[in-house]
Amino acid sequence: MKFFEQIGGKVTAWARVLIDSIRLCCDTLYWVVMGPFKKKPLHVEIVSEQMVYMGIQSIIIVFFVMFFTGIVLAMQSAPQLIQMGGLIYVASLVTISICRELGPVLTALVIAGRIGAAITAEIGSMKVNEQIEALDTMAISPIRYLVVPKLVALFIMLPCLTILGDASGLFGGYVIGVHNLNINSGLYIQTALKFLTLKDIYTGLSKAFVFAIIIVMVGAYQGFKTAGGAVGVGRATTISVVTSFILIIIADAIMTGIYFFSGY
């Protein structure tokens, strides 16, 4: 009986998490849509501050992560392509791999580790210090005040960071292809652009929008569920980052499958 009780407890707990997550997403969507029509609309300054923190201050780390990813991808693929007499196709392999897959996924993972953890720590600290209850007492929606500006900011900035990451990765592949593999610069660029289509760019950017929602929603959910003081904040932050990583990979697999089987 204890075995079945444990199974029932786990199922109930997961069902509660799912319901609470859906409720948080619905409340956030409501304030995103209806917020501008309320008496006190969301201040542009708050969103701008979040955009600077999430986007501008993440440029350097995204650039270096994707730059070295492009370098590694070019170096790892070159030996196999040389054996088949297709060294020039290093350009197309790096370009398509980064724009379709590695660019949006690695950028999202970097931002999830940096921004997702910060969101959970901020909201979690307010939760354990009873500042969330203070907002409710003042008739201020915590979701509207804390979650919506972060969602709007990251929804705008993550695709921008993805574009930057794609460019950085392509530049890393170009450096290896031209200066190490001795591929002609013009021929490298021509081959890269020949096989790159707008579809490759659109698929990567569409993933970035979904990843932005996942990062903010997971971070906010774990923040609102934080309990147990400073130890609870640390635990919630760890869970937030790990959960974001897993959901990003799952969402990427699902979207890639949709694009693949639909022939998009």
Task: State the average pLDDT for the chain.
Answer: 86
What are the tens digits of pLDDT across the range 53-107? 898 999 999 999 999 999 999 998 888 888 887 788 888 888 999 998 899 999 9
The alpha helices in 44-102, defined as continuous H runs, are 44-54, 59-83, 90-97
The predicted pLDDT at position 243 comes to 92
Distance CA 234, CA 34 (A): 33
What are the tens digits of pLDDT across the range 224-239? 888 877 788 888 899 9
What are the tens digits of pLDDT across the range 127-150? 888 888 887 778 778 888 888 889
Q: pTM for the complete prediction? A: 0.89
* Of residues 237 and 13, more confidently modeled: 237
The tokens for 112 are 């999830």
The predicted pLDDT at position 37 comes to 60
* Of residues 40 and 12, more confidently modeled: 12
Give the residue from 23, 186, 6, 183 showing the smallest Cα distance to 87: 183
Distance CA 29, CA 27 (A): 5
Distance CA 142, CA 158 (A): 23
Q: Looking up tokens 């790892």, which residue turns up?
A: 76
Q: Looking up tokens 């370098």, which residue turns up?
A: 71
The burial of 91, by beta-carbon neighbours within 10 Å (0-12 exposed, 13-18 middle, 19 or more buried), is given as buried
Residue 183: left if φ>0, alpha if ψ -120 to 50, beta else—which one? beta
